[in-house]
Amino acid sequence: MAKSNNRGPAPKLPTIAALIARAGGRCQFENCNKNVFLDEVTLDDTNNSNIAHIVASSPRGPRGSAVQSFELSDKIENLMLMCLEHHHLIDEKGKDKIYTVEILRAMKAAQEERVQKMLNNLNADITTMVYLNSPIKGKQNVSFSGKKASKAFIPHMKAESEYAMSINVLPYGKYDTTEYWREAESMLENQFNCTIQSKLNICPNAHFSIFPLAPIPLIMKLGFLMGDKIHADVYQRAKQPETWEWQSTELTNSFHVEEKHFDTGDGIALAVSITGEIDIDSILKVDSFKAIYVIRAENQGDDSIKSVKDLSAFWHKYKELCEKLKNEKVLSVFPAVPASAAFEMGRRYMMGVYPKMIIYDRYKDFFEALTIGD
């Protein structure tokens, strides 16, 4: 291989063209995304592209190697498309300790993967993102990014806008009072009509991607308002790693039903122990019941539902139990579930078939929050 001027060979035009295509014409430095073929001030077409080497083409250059500088100098896997600013930055004296070969390779791989996903997404169906936001036990939620949330459905769908429809339910008062939840329910219904229902009036076949950060009863109520006739998918925020993307494509959990009958008491209760165990005694503090049914996850915890298959397995088991109890007039529901399961519980409710559901939330003790059905 040629070593003229103690440098490896320059990349050939086909290699440069392939690099530009992989990068989508954007700077590959992490979070830059600058279009290197467009002047940001005049908006004129231009060429501000820089072909940066991960391993320098000279052994004496940034991240240079006595062997690899010559072997990789013209290889596409060793090249990054960059704007002038970031090309200068990574090659600045001493910065090779910060922008190492490993870090730059990771930047390149991540950026090219995003570009490929976006290209695969070009012919995908359109979805409207909906963000449900309400304080949980009085604590305000973290900020929401539509751009980050959209990664949950790319490349299968593409967002109508990078901004989500926001349903902000911010009632006043003490969290565990009737007044608080009456106001919360009214706010939710009004904003549902102004956002989702208004969209459906114009586009009856619109698809929605739901991102809820709210108390479980409100998420259930939103699911109920949408029902199973509206095209929608629900996503939930994982904590580790912090993402809206499903953590698996496989079935990772199972769900079963238990029954507990009592000699005294009236009415039926349903405990849904998915994220954690609901103590039967805490339910009996609310009222005496003649029977308590429990849907329990084999593996409980925040990551009890990791995939669409897990979610489907859950709501099928839930719906199966609702069918069994459809002759009851009222069902008191005590949920310890992830957001996705809460949405499906409301969404799969069959009006006029299933008993009216009284949904409880917990703030030290259980209290009645909302009702679903008549």
List pLDDT tens digits, range 344-373. Answer: 999 999 999 999 999 999 998 999 999 999
Q: Is the pLDDT of residue 274 over 70?
A: yes
pLDDT for residue 206: 96
Q: Is the pLDDT of residue 1 over 50?
A: no
Tokens standing for 117?
């996903």
Token pair 């299968």: residue: 156
pLDDT-based confidence at residue 4 (cuts at 50, 70, 90) = low
Is 356 in contact with 374 (CB distance < 8 Å)?
A: yes
Single pTM value for the model: 0.74
pLDDT digits (tens, 9 = 90+) for 184-194: 999 999 999 99
pLDDT for residue 6: 87
Cα three-residue angle 84-85-88, rounded to 5 degrees = 80
Tokens standing for 321?
């139990």
pLDDT digits (tens, 9 = 90+) for 109-161: 999 998 988 787 777 789 999 999 999 987 877 789 998 999 999 878 989 99
Residues 83-91, mean pLDDT to the nearest whole number: 96
pLDDT for residue 87: 97
Pairing of strands 125-133, 157-159: parallel
pLDDT digits (tens, 9 = 90+) for 135-147: 998 787 778 999 8
Terminal C-alpha separation, the chain: 80
pLDDT for residue 14: 96
Q: Is the pLDDT of residue 255 over 50?
A: yes
H runs (alpha helix) in the chain: 13-23, 68-71, 84-91, 101-120, 146-149, 178-192, 198-202, 216-226, 280-284, 308-324, 339-347
Residues 2-22, mean pLDDT to the nearest whole number: 87
Is 212 in contact with 206 (CB distance < 8 Å)?
A: no
43-73 burial string, b = 16+ CB within 10 Å, else e? eeeeebbbebbbbbbbbebbbbeeebbbebb
Tokens standing for 165?
């429809």
pLDDT-based confidence at residue 339 (cuts at 50, 70, 90) = very high
pLDDT digits (tens, 9 = 90+) for 194-216: 999 999 999 999 999 999 999 99
Q: Under 8 Å CB-to-CB from 285, ≥6 apart: which residues?
A: 365, 366
pLDDT digits (tens, 9 = 90+) for 298-320: 999 999 999 999 999 999 999 99
* Rounded-to-integer distance, Cα 25 and Cα 47, Å: 10
Q: Is the pLDDT of residue 244 over 50?
A: yes
DSSP state of 271: E
Q: Is the pLDDT of residue 331 over 90?
A: yes
How does the average pLDDT of the chain come out, rounded? 94
Backbone angles phi, psi at 278, to 5 degrees: -100, 120
User: What Rg value do the Cα atoms of the chain yield, rounded?
Assistant: 27
pLDDT-based confidence at residue 2 (cuts at 50, 70, 90) = very low
pLDDT for residue 41: 83
